[in-house]
Amino acid sequence: MTLRTRAVPLIAVDAIVVDLETTGLDTKTARIVEIGAVPLVKGKIDETNAVSMRVNPGEPIPPEATAIHNIRDADVANAPAVADGLMQLLALTGDRLVIGHSIGFDLAIIRAECKRAGLAYRKPRILDTRLLGQIANSSLPDFSMDMIGEWLGVPIENRHSALGDALATARLYLALAPYLRERKILTVAEAEATCGQLSDAMESHRIAGWEEPSSPIAADAERPLARIDSYPYRHLISETMSSPPLMVPAATSILDATRMMAEKRVSSLFLGDDGDGYGIVTERDVLRAIADRADDALPMPVGGIASRPLETVPQDVHLYRAVGRMDRLKIRHLGVVDDDERLVGALSARDLLRLRATGAVSLGDAIDEAEDTADLAAAWAHLPAIAEAMLAEDVDARNISGVISRELGAATRRATIFAEQRLAKDGLGPPPVPYAVLVLGSGGRGESLLALDQDNAIVFAEGKPDGPEDRYFAKLGELIADDLNTIGVPYCKGGVMAKNAEWRGSLETWRQRLADWMRRSRPEDLLSVDIFFDLRAVHGDAGLAETLLREAYEQGSKALAFVKVLAAGNAEFQAPLGLFGRFRTQEGRVDLKLGGLFPIVSSARILAIRHNIPRRATPDRLAEIRDRDLGSDADLTRLIDAHKVLLKRILSQQIVDLHAGISPSNRIEPQVLSKAEKSELRDALSSLSHVDSLVRDLMF
């Protein structure tokens, strides 16, 4: 099973739910008499493609078995042989996750039947709703299908028919997912790992001869790693696009347009925005016109054959987003726009020929086009596998964190669109005033890794606290937070979410809030305030966000007391290094966020505020401070390099942990590093020993 499957949220799995009816309960001798299988596609039950099949066991069905499932010898006399049914089932399951209730029993039967028939058997990855029910509610009297169904309010119909039980199991699984999420079990790997910790259940599986749940660590000891072309993840669209775009009036004749394309060696021309958006005329449009009208086409205006509106991408995103969009829309040209939606460039399939586009590059488009929360969760689950493949190709961890951050923004935007739709459906109508959803913290800086949570806010054009506008956006923020939590982006433990009143407001409310922050004099009064200065708009009116960001930096640069209070947090920092450079660990791990990233990120942000540098990314902030000759080139370069090293070490550990079914964190195991990696990490942490005095010097 790939990392993508292991990292997928439980609510969005692609799986097969399997149930068997047999001649008995002894896994060594029992034969199959009925097979039921129900696909789960992105967390939705696909009854259309469900399978119900009786098979001939080749021996009499005992009366005690018939008393349970009501299948008699006559019912299977003309049915296919067990081997034929097995081949269909194995083809259906393939490499997919298999779910069942007491599925270890069913798989032990399948394993034995395969051996009898001479068929190859490969143990699938499995989730057992009996074990998941025990995890979700250990106080139940028992963990039978009927008992768990009664607790969850899931009706169990057609009991002891293979298809009926498979359908019931599918419904139980989906109903269990929210309860597991409450226990911080979000993904397939986390569910596997937790099931494996039920020692009594595992022992009973072994005694009965059932198949046991797989160990994520053991299964991945020699996992193959799919290679991807990392180029589109390392380069921005602005580096590849044709600029400026070749614009022509709509009245330009097709003949003149053709001559212009030939002279400029381009395959497309663009028409200005006439109210319906920009337009585009391509070589193919011209050829079609000539094929339809021959010479009569040449004097025609290109406005008559242009395509509107033009499909566009932002200039500041990575190329994989353009590749994914072209692939989905089956087009060969895209316009490139700036933050104000002005056309600034063009991108064609010819520009992308050097890219070997794979399924991985469709990630961004899959998020943008998700139809519901389950779709969004399924798309989001691709992210760890892409991060792993990029890291394996030695892509800079800063580029990888940029991709993760970009998709966090895209997921937040999509969740916002879902929220708007729900509020409209509930009779609240469209947003009452222009607004923008903001991502803060690492997501705003473009430095998110895989142990991320929600940091978001909303700014709207006008309206008072607890007024009608504010109440609308409170509901919107709550829906956004719930959907993000559902797909695997947990609620912010510090409450930095737009659903909370202190993280949303009108532009005027935010101005008052900023003024209040500037007056505070204690670090504890400014918890989480600093990440506001990383804000990035991901949906809505970006102009509101830019106005707010610009004003925040202007005020902050003049409020020396405010900046000093922010800097006070660095004073107590100590790198997690002991005597002779030994790593100071807790339970074998070092927290590289608190013990490394925090002082770098915080220092860069503080200096950016002090010197009115409204940049977001930590390396960009430090580089501009260096370029302005505000501090030592060597000191600032060491911080930039240390930031890169720490990101890579944290991300590498997170991927290892995800494979092991451990929730990713910022804590790494230094003992597993190579000698060279340990030395590199020591150097990075050692460079932070005087970061507090460096910041205080550069502030003035």
- For the stretch 70-81, pLDDT in tens is 999 999 999 999
Mean pLDDT of the chain: 89
Q: Dihedrals φ, ψ of 91, to 5°?
A: -65, -35
Structure tokens at 578: 């002991």
Peptide bond into 244 cis (omega under 30): yes
Burial 95-129 (b: 16+ CB within 10 A, else e): ebbbbbbbbbbbbbbbbbbbeeeeeeeeebbbbbb
Rg (C-alpha) for the chain, rounded Å, is 29
Give yes or no for residue 359 having a pLDDT over 60: no
Task: Tell me the residue ranges of DSSP E strands in 29-160.
Answer: 32-41, 44-45, 51-54, 97-100, 126-128
Asked if residue 315 and residue 167 are part of one domain, the reply reads: no
Once rounded to an integer, what is the mean pLDDT over residues 268-273?
90
Give how far the C-alpha of residue 154 lies from the chain's centroid of Cα atoms, to the nearest Å.
30
Least confident window among 22-31, 228-237, 596-605: 228-237
Distance CA 291, CA 668 (A): 64
Give yes or no for residue 364 having a pLDDT over 80: no
C-alpha dist (Å) from residue 359 to 87, 352, 395 = 29, 15, 18
C-alpha dist (Å) from residue 62 to 32, 71, 161, 165, 349 = 12, 10, 16, 21, 66
Q: Which residues pair with 281 in a beta bridge?
A: 269
Residue 95 — pLDDT band, cuts 50, 70, 90? Answer: confident
596 Cβ partners below 8 Å, 6+ apart?
575, 576, 642, 646, 684, 685, 688
SS3 state of residue 537: strand
Residue 4 — pLDDT band, cuts 50, 70, 90? Answer: low
Asked if residue 87 and residue 29 are part of one domain, the reply reads: yes
Looking up residue 594, the CATH number of its domain turns out to be: 1.20.120
Range of the structural domain that residue 319 is part of: 231-357
Does the residue 538 lie in any domain?
no
Asked if residue 365 and residue 353 are part of one domain, the reply reads: no
Residue 3 — pLDDT band, cuts 50, 70, 90? Answer: low
Report the interhelical angle of 633-659 vs 383-392 (nearest 10°). Answer: 120
Q: Dihedrals φ, ψ of 211, to 5°?
A: -70, 140
- Work out whether strand 667-668 and strand 590-591 pair parallel, antiparallel, or are unpaired: antiparallel
Report the interhelical angle of 691-699 vs 598-610 (nearest 10°). Answer: 10
Asked if residue 422 and residue 369 are part of one domain, the reply reads: yes
Asked if residue 247 and residue 317 are part of one domain, the reply reads: yes
Distance CA 381, CA 10 (A): 10
Please state, for a pLDDT cut of 70, what percent of the chain lies above it: 95
Question: How confident is the model over 568-580, as pLDDT tens digits?
Answer: 878 778 899 988 8
Question: How confident is the model over 640-679, as pLDDT tens digits?
Answer: 999 999 999 999 999 999 888 888 999 999 999 999 999 9
C-alpha dist (Å) from residue 178 to 9, 10, 490, 618 = 11, 9, 13, 36
Q: Does the CA dihedral 225-226-231-237 come out positive or negative?
A: negative
Looking up residue 189, the CATH number of its domain turns out to be: 3.30.420.10
Distance CA 687, CA 642 (A): 7
Q: Which residues pair with 41 in a beta bridge?
A: 44
Return the pLDDT at 457: 98
Question: How confident is the model over 151-197, as pLDDT tens digits?
Answer: 999 999 899 999 999 999 999 999 999 999 888 898 888 898 888 88
SS3 state of residue 270: strand
Does the residue 522 lie in any domain?
no
Structure tokens at 533: 């200065």
Asked if residue 15 and residue 163 are part of one domain, the reply reads: yes
Does the residue 513 lie in any domain?
no
Does the residue 572 lie in any domain?
yes
Asked if residue 687 and residue 569 are part of one domain, the reply reads: yes
* Single-letter code of the amino acid located at 392: A
Give which of 610, 635, 634, 605 is closest to 620, Cα–Cα. 605
* CB of 476 closer than 8 Å to CB of 433: no
* CB of 581 closer than 8 Å to CB of 425: no
Give yes or no for residue 229 having a pLDDT over 90: no
Return the pLDDT at 217: 40
Give which of 14, 1, 189, 214 is closest to 104, Cα–Cα. 214
Does the residue 551 lie in any domain?
no
Asked if residue 189 and residue 44 are part of one domain, the reply reads: yes
* CB of 227 closer than 8 Å to CB of 356: no
Give how far the C-alpha of residue 677 lies from the chain's centroid of Cα atoms, to the nearest Å.
28
Distance CA 390, CA 409 (A): 20
Give yes or no for residue 405 having a pLDDT over 50: yes
Q: Does the CA dihedral 609-614-617-621 come out positive or negative?
A: negative
Domain boundary among 483, 506, 529: 506
Give yes or no for residue 204 having a pLDDT over 90: no
Does the residue 534 lie in any domain?
no
- Work out whether strand 97-100 and strand 15-22 pair parallel, antiparallel, or are unpaired: parallel
Tally of CB atoms within 10 A around 604? 27
Distance CA 637, CA 234 (A): 21
Domain boundary among 506, 525, 542: 506
Give yes or no for residue 207 having a pLDDT over 90: no
Distance CA 63, CA 683 (A): 74
Distance CA 103, CA 131 (A): 10
Return the pLDDT at 362: 60
Return the pLDDT at 225: 35
Asked if residue 214 and residue 268 are part of one domain, the reply reads: no
Give which of 90, 220, 311, 224 is closest to 657, Cα–Cα. 220
Asked if residue 38 and residue 183 are part of one domain, the reply reads: yes
Asked if residue 348 and residue 407 are part of one domain, the reply reads: no
Domain boundary among 357, 389, 407: 357
* CB of 103 closer than 8 Å to CB of 143: no
Return the pLDDT at 5: 58
Does the residue 526 lie in any domain?
no
Asked if residue 369 and residue 352 are part of one domain, the reply reads: no
Does the residue 402 lie in any domain?
yes
* Structural domain count of the chain: 4
Residue 218 — pLDDT band, cuts 50, 70, 90? Answer: very low
The string of DSSP letters for 93-121 reads: HTTSEEEETTHHHHHHHHHHHHHHHT---
Please state, for a pLDDT cut of 90, what percent of the chain lies above it: 65
Structure tokens at 202: 């595992």
Give the side-chain half-sphere CA count within 13 A for 277: 12
Burial class (CB in 10 A: 0-12, 13-18, 19+), 637: middle
* CB of 487 closer than 8 Å to CB of 12: yes
